Amino acid sequence: MARRSDHSRDEIREMSLQAAEQLIIAQGYKALSARKVASEIGYTVGTLYLVFKNQDEFILHINSRTLDELYQSMQTVIDDHQDAHACVLALCRNYYDFAAANANRWLLIFEHALPEDNGVPDWYQQRIRGGFEMLEKLLQSLVATHKPQQIGTAARVLWGSVHGITMLAITRKLDVVGIESVYELIDSLVENYLAGLTR
Amino acid sequence: MARRSDHSRDEIREMSLQAAEQLIIAQGYKALSARKVASEIGYTVGTLYLVFKNQDEFILHINSRTLDELYQSMQTVIDDHQDAHACVLALCRNYYDFAAANANRWLLIFEHALPEDNGVPDWYQQRIRGGFEMLEKLLQSLVATHKPQQIGTAARVLWGSVHGITMLAITRKLDVVGIESVYELIDSLVENYLAGLTR
DNA sequence: GCACACAATTGAACATTGTTCAATATTTCG
DNA sequence: CGAAATATTGAACAATGTTCAATTGTGTGC
């Protein structure tokens, strides 16, 4: 039996999350199970329930870490660009790149959510808001003449659209095979939508 | 015991699919289970496996029926509009309306798909293609000067974008509560993207 | 009408899942 | 060193998808 001082609660949390991520990366979210994670970190199921309330909360934390990584990669893109227009385009491509490179973890974020999900905790709702705010700042300098509300709308349209194209592309529902690359779709969206906005 | 002549295989298929749809509509896709469906139609689990290969195939048929309904509603919209521009806009709104009105069944279409899904049967892949073709025809008359490949791209961009906005709206990930309605987002997408295309 | 063969249907069985919690092992403290 | 506190276990429960030998109903040939 593992001794109680071998690892702190936080260490067990961290180990569990890492083990879960490895499982998901390697075999997809359906392969995730409490027993597998527990045995991977050298503990048993019961211990996991000391540290996470239940599987929902566990997955919420996994998703939160994935979102953190995504936002971090977005920040890098923002830091690398002077021109706002080029930056928006790069950000949208980056969203697809991230999703493609981390498909299984990224999919978990959306497989898990239910329509009746009123119970999503505040800290998670905040995480979601984070992405929009980055985009809103950029759009603000791009279409300076627009009202804040219009910019909020534009940010949501772009975010949702790129998300949709990415989602369908990754789950192979776009009926696109090599002919048009996903970049082409994203570029078409961004260029034409922004052109329409600033017309 | 139900007698063997009480229902044909096709009747059992139909009854199973209807029972499953009721379950999903009422309680979401997670409430779907072979035993529940079986007991609902007055048979037992084993019978279901005479009629469907496994749960994956079962869900595929449920989704196929949902897609049929969606396409049917799209066809109605198309028949009701003369003007191509207005028709595209109405179609996009219709996509959200359908998804909102049939949230649980519509979500199942996307919860179920995996990235490694090479094994999606042809007849299902064809069903997916159906949506694009409707949109492509419309866009053809709208941006007649464009090459067929560009129209294919535009159809995929619009489809994916509306899908993404709809998905995030329905799963409450758009951080939009009343302020901007989803129609506003869809209208903004369609008007500005089409304006960009025809500029 | 009866027995036999065939086919439809069952439901027990298996492995696996999330989750709980009394029992146990280990550490800490007086 | 003994006792109290706490960390950890793992058996137990209900539910899942899936299989398949056993059973039961039906139709056919005599």
- What the block records as the tokens of A99 is 């999703």
B12 touches strand C (CB under 7 A): yes
What is the CA B45 to C1' C13 distance in angstroms?
13
**CA A98 → C1' C6, Å?**
58
B156·A162 Cβ contact <8 A:
no
B92 pLDDT band (50/70/90 cuts)? very high
In whole angstroms, what is the distance from residue B187 CA to residue B199 CA?
A: 18
- Residue B1's pLDDT is 43
| Ordered DSSP codes for A149-199 | HHHHHHHHHHHHHHHHHHHHHHTT-S--SSSS-HHHHHHHHHHHHHHHHT-
The mean per-residue pLDDT over the stretch A127-147 comes to 89
- Gap between the Cα atoms of A98 and A104, Å rounded: 11
Using an 8 Å Cβ cutoff, are B165 and B96 in contact? yes
CA distance readout (Å), A126 to A56, A106, A131, A156, B154: 18, 18, 9, 15, 33
Q: What is the pLDDT of residue A1?
A: 44
Asked whether residue B1, judged by its CB, lies under 7 Å from any atom of the DNA or RNA strand D, the reply is yes
Q: What is the mean pLDDT of residues A175-195?
A: 87
Q: What three-state secondary structure class fits B90?
A: helix
> CA–C1' span, A115 to D18, in Å?
30
For residue A132, pLDDT beyond 90: no
Compute the average pLDDT of residues B80-107: 96
Of A93, A97, A88, A94, residue with least CA distance to A194: A88
Of A89 and A176, the one with more pLDDT: A89
* pLDDT per residue as tens digits for the range A26-67: 999 999 999 999 999 999 999 999 999 999 999 999 999 999
- Which distant-in-sequence residues (6+ apart) come within 8 Å of A23 by Cβ? A31, A32, A36, A37, A40
Mean pLDDT of chain A: 91
Cα–Cα distance, A47 to A12 (Å, whole number):
9
Give the confidence band of A113 by pLDDT, cuts at 50, 70, 90. Answer: low
Q: Is the pLDDT of residue B65 over 90?
A: yes
Q: What average pLDDT does this structure show over B68-97? A: 96
Confidence category of residue B2, pLDDT binned at 50, 70, 90: very low
Q: Which of residues 47-76 of A touch B (CB under 8 A)?
A: none
What pLDDT does B78 receive? 96
> Looking at the predicted structure, is the pLDDT value of residue B175 above 80?
no
Question: How does pLDDT run across B128-163, given as a tens digit for each residue?
Answer: 888 889 999 999 999 888 889 899 999 999 999 999
Nucleic strand C contact set for A 52-111 (CB, < 7 Å): 54-56
**Residue of B128, B176, B193 lying closest to A196 (CB–CB):** B193
A vs B, Cβ pairs < 8 A, gives 164
Answer yes or no: do B180 and A153 touch at CB < 8 A. Answer: yes
- Answer for B2: CB within 7 Å of strand C: yes
The answer on pLDDT for A188 being more than 90 is yes
In tens, the pLDDT along A82-111 reads 999 999 999 999 999 999 999 999 999 998
Q: Which two tokens stand for residue B26?
A: 């009422």
C-alpha distances (whole Å) from B7 to each of B15, B21, B35, B58, B144 are: 10, 19, 19, 19, 53
Quick check: B43 and B34 in contact, CB under 8 A?
no
